[in-house]
Every structure is written in structure tokens, then in C-alpha cells.
């Protein structure tokens, strides 16, 4: 059970607060293409300002690799945030140093500052203690709201907590609470749905949910590897040869685990993976040489749908087909419809699955969507995330 202090547990009035957010948003040139992550930070910012704190925001953006890159400056984020909050957001051109100290010292109540891209500094990703000290210097309190970066031990996620009292923001708190529900005393039956490309990326999470869940439904490219482990050939489909043995072991483990593991019973099979391509729904033994299985088929959607309908809690990571190339988004869409109809508490995580649900317009069909990609996976795997571990205990 993770029990960390949040901004609700400490005095913030009059404090100079360094708030780490995840503003790593997609850009179209100098415009923010998707501001979901910026909007997610608003409750924490409003709460801190409302309680009389002086808030200075910081984030990374893209991968500048420790040096300034004009196309990755934080200006588009400052502009969008100012628009969302209807209040001025002043960007500082640097991350640490005299200019930051001066601006923070002169801050007025209700004013918001945004530091330049943290990853313009070499010390950030190295978690250099001297850089972390400089980052902390002008402030009284550190608030970490960047759940999506919590699996990285960087200066602005972990290092800075050696120099300042560190607490969770409201988004970080909510992520921890929602993602923990399926790990600690879940409502049962708990059904886990796992998809995506590679078994090798998801080994730990498959194992974790074999232990935790009552049902484990596998789809996507990684289910192909399991089907090969079960003796099917699957033509020219994507699968991981080097993971077939692991998959066979997991299938054997599932026999003893008390978790019912289900693989696809039919697959959408195409000769050529392109938008609008023709395809057949075939059982795994029917896949021809040269053909590719790129989605789960309708019988599998129905089979998974029955289990989902009976679930009390659902966790889902990874798309169930090559959703980027319609019509091979149908399996993912069909399962999303079943999740929406089940009435169960449902939590969804993983960059590609979230993108798939956004593209399908189905994000409102689930109870909670995690803002983390890799961080969500590591949290569910049971790893300690450095950005959470660094926060003060309750
Ligand atoms: P997430 O980001 O949600 O954790 P992953 O990164 O593991 O998901 O996997 C997403 C990728 O899996 C997508 O690019 C999708 O095209 C791919 N994928 C899903 N099903 C298949 C399949 N049958 N064959 C090949 N690739 C697949
Ligand atoms: Mg992914």
C-alpha cells in the first residue's frame, strides 16, 4: 500500500512551490497538438494558487538530450496553459540560476511561472545532485504531479526531493489511488485484458496479472506468440520466436494459478496490411502461409465480451490489433464496447491503447484512463517508481 503525503496534507500558503508536471505534449511546429496532459495539471495548479502558494512549473518536452533545442522550448506550453487557466503564465528562459532566483523572489500572489525545458540541462536525466540542489534552491516545497515521468530517477523527479520536502500533486495522488485498486483487494471477478505487440515488453505484467486476476484475456501481436507456443504456425504473422518458450511456460503457470487465461479463438487475417485491406476471420489453424493475423476476430470479441460482462473490475493494457490501420481497430473497439457495457469499474493504461481509444472516440467508456505509459506498466508490475518513492510518507 503506497501512503504518501500530498498537497492536501501540508501547509502551502505563502510557500514558494516548485511543481513538476508532465507537459511532454505532442507539437505541430510551435502549436500544442493535444493538450490532455496540460489540462490534467489544472486541478493541482488551481488548488495551490487558491491556497495562496506561489507556483513555478517545470517539465521536460521531447528528447533534447541535455542541450537547448529551439524547437523544444516550453513557449507553446506556456501559451496553452495561460489560455486554459485564463491567467498569465510567464515563461523563464532558463531552468536554474540567478534569473530564476530573482523572478521567484519577486513573484506576486496568483502569478504563475514556467521554467524552460528541464532536459535542456545535462544534469536532469543524470540526476546530478548539484543540478538538483540548484533546481531546489529558490523554493520551499516540491510538488510532483508528473506521474508519467515517475518511473525515471531524474533530478526533477527524484533528486530534488533530497533538498526540499516533497509531496504528491492531485493528479499523482489520483493515479496512485486508481492504479492501486486492482492490486490491493480488487473487486471480483477481476478481469485483466492485455494486448500490444511484444511479450518481451509485457512479461512482468502478464505474470503479475496471472497472480492477481480471475481472468486474463490476451490479444494483439503478443497473443500470436502464445498461439505459436500452443503449436499453431500463423503464416507470416508478427510474433517473437525468442519468446515462444517463455510463453509456453506462462501457459503452464496459468494452469496452476487459479486464473483463467484465454487466447483468441479467431483472428482477422490479411494478405497485405494497409488501410481498408480485405481480410478473413479465421481460426488459428486456418492461417495460410504468407498471411498475417493482425486483429482478434468477432468470435473472440464475443468470447471476451461474455467474461467482461461478468467482471466487477477490469484492467486493460495494450490494443488487441493493429488499430493504426483500420479496419484492424475493430477488435479493440468491440472489446471497448463490452467494457463500457459491463458496468464494472474499469481502468486503462498504456500509450498506444489510450491513443486507440481516443481515435475511436471511446475514452468516456472507461472509469479511469491513466496518463502514464511506461510508468503505468511499471506501477502495475509492482516496481517501485523513483518519483513516488521520493515523496514524504504519511
Ligand atoms: P501500449 O502502448 O498500449 O502498452 P504496446 O506498445 O505494447 O501497447 O503495443 C502497441 C502496438 O501493438 C501497436 O502499434 C499495434 O499496432 C501493435 N499490435 C497490436 N496487435 C498486433 C498484431 N496482431 N500484429 C502486429 N502488431 C500488433
Ligand atoms: Mg506502446
Digits of tens for pLDDT over the chain (394 positions)? Answer: 789 999 999 999 999 999 999 999 999 999 999 898 999 999 999 999 999 999 999 999 999 999 999 999 999 999 999 999 999 999 999 999 999 999 999 998 888 999 999 999 999 999 999 999 999 999 999 999 999 999 999 999 999 999 999 999 999 999 999 999 999 989 999 999 999 999 999 999 999 999 999 999 999 999 999 999 999 999 999 999 999 999 999 999 999 889 999 999 999 999 999 999 999 999 999 998 999 999 999 999 999 999 999 999 999 999 999 999 999 999 999 999 999 999 999 999 988 999 999 988 888 889 999 988 899 999 999 999 999 999 999 9
Catalytic pick among 148, 220, 351, 387: 351
Residue 4 appears among annotated catalytic residues? no
pLDDT of the residue at 341: 93
Q: Phi/psi at 174 (nearest 5 deg)?
A: -65, -45
Is 331's C-beta closer than 6 angstroms to any atom of ligand 1? Answer: no
Q: Residue 66: how many CA atoms within 13 Å on its side-chain side? A: 10
Residue 174 appears among annotated catalytic residues? no
Radius of gyration of the chain, Cα coordinates, nearest whole angstrom: 23
With beta carbons less than 8 A apart as the criterion, state whether 92 and 59 touch. no
Contacts of 137 (CB under 8 A, 6+ apart): 96, 101, 163
Cell matching residue 385: 517508481
pLDDT of the residue at 27: 94
Distance 71 CA to ligand 1 centre (A): 29
Is 374's C-beta closer than 6 angstroms to any atom of ligand 1? Answer: no
Location of C-alpha cell 519577486: 106
Is 201's C-beta closer than 6 angstroms to any atom of ligand 1? Answer: yes
pLDDT of the residue at 176: 96
Distance 366 CA to ligand 1 centre (A): 20
In angstroms, rounded to a whole number, what is the distance separating the alpha carbons of residues 226 and 204? Answer: 15
Strands 190-194, 260-262: parallel, antiparallel or unpaired by DSSP? unpaired
pTM of the predicted model as reported, rounded to 2 decimal places: 0.93
Distance 198 CA to ligand 2 centre (A): 10
Residue 133 appears among annotated catalytic residues? no
Amino acid at each position: 500500500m503506497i501512503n504518501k503525503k500530498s498537497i492536501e496534507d501540508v501547509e502551502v500558503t505563502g510557500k514558494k512551490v516548485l511543481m513538476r508536471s508532465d507537459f511532454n505534449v505532442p507539437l505541430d511546429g510551435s502549436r500544442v497538438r493535444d493538450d490532455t496532459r496540460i489540462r490534467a495539471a489544472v486541478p493541482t495548479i488551481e488548488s495551490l494558487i487558491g491556497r495562496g502558494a506561489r507556483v513555478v512549473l517545470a517539465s521536460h518536452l521531447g528528447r533534447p538530450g541535455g542541450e537547448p533545442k529551439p524547437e523544444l522550448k516550453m513557449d507553446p506550453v506556456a501559451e496553452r496553459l495561460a489560455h486554459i487557466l485564463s491567467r498569465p503564465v510567464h515563461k523563464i528562459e532558463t531552468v536554474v540560476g540567478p534569473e530564476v532566483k530573482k523572478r521567484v523572489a519577486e513573484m506576486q500572489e496568483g502569478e504563475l511561472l514556467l521554467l524552460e525545458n528541464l532536459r535542456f540541462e545535462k544534469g536532469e536525466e543524470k540526476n546530478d545532485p548539484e543540478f538538483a540542489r540548484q533546481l531546489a534552491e529558490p523554493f520551499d516545497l516540491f510538488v510532483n504531479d508528473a506521474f508519467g515521468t515517475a518511473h525515471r530517477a531524474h533530478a526533477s523527479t527524484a533528486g530534488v526531493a533530497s533538498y526540499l520536502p516533497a509531496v504528491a500533486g492531485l493528479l499523482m495522488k489520483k493515479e496512485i489511488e486508481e492504479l492501486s485498486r486492482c492490486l490491493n483487494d480488487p473487486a471480483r471477478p477481476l478481469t485483466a485484458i492485455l494486448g500490444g505487440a511484444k511479450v518481451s515488453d509485457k512479461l512482468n505484467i502478464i505474470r503479475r496479472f496471472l497472480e492477481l486476476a480471475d481472468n486474463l484475456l490476451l490479444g494483439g501481436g503478443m497473443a500470436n506468440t502464445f498461439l505459436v507456443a500452443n503449436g499453431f504456425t500463423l503464416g507470416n504473422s508478427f510474433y517473437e520466436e525468442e519468446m515462444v518458450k517463455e510463453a509456453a511456460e506462462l501457459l503452464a503457470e496459468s494452469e496452476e494459478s487459479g486464473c483463467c487465461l484465454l487466447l483468441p479463438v479467431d483472428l482477422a487475417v490479411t494478405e497485405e496490411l494497409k488501410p481498408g485491406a480485405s481480410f478473413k476471420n479465421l481460426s488459428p489453424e486456418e492461417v495460410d502461409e504468407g498471411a498475417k493475423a493482425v486483429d482478434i476476430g468477432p468470435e473472440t470479441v464475443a468470447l471476451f465480451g461474455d467474461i467482461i460482462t461478468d467482471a466487477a473490475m477490469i484492467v486493460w493494457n495494450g490494443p488487441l490489433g493493429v488499430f493504426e490501420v483500420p479496419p484492424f481497430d475493430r477488435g479493440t473497439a468491440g472489446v471497448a464496447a463490452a467494457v463500457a457495457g459491463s458496468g464494472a469499474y474499469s481502468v486503462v493504461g498504456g500509450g498506444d491503447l489510450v491513443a486507440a481509444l481516443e481515435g475511436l472516440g471511446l475514452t468516456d467508456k472507461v472509469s479511469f484512463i491513466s496518463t502514464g505509459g511506461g510508468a503505468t506498466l511499471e506501477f502495475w508490475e509492482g516496481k517501485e517508481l523513483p518519483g513516488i518513492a521520493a515523496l514524504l510518507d504519511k
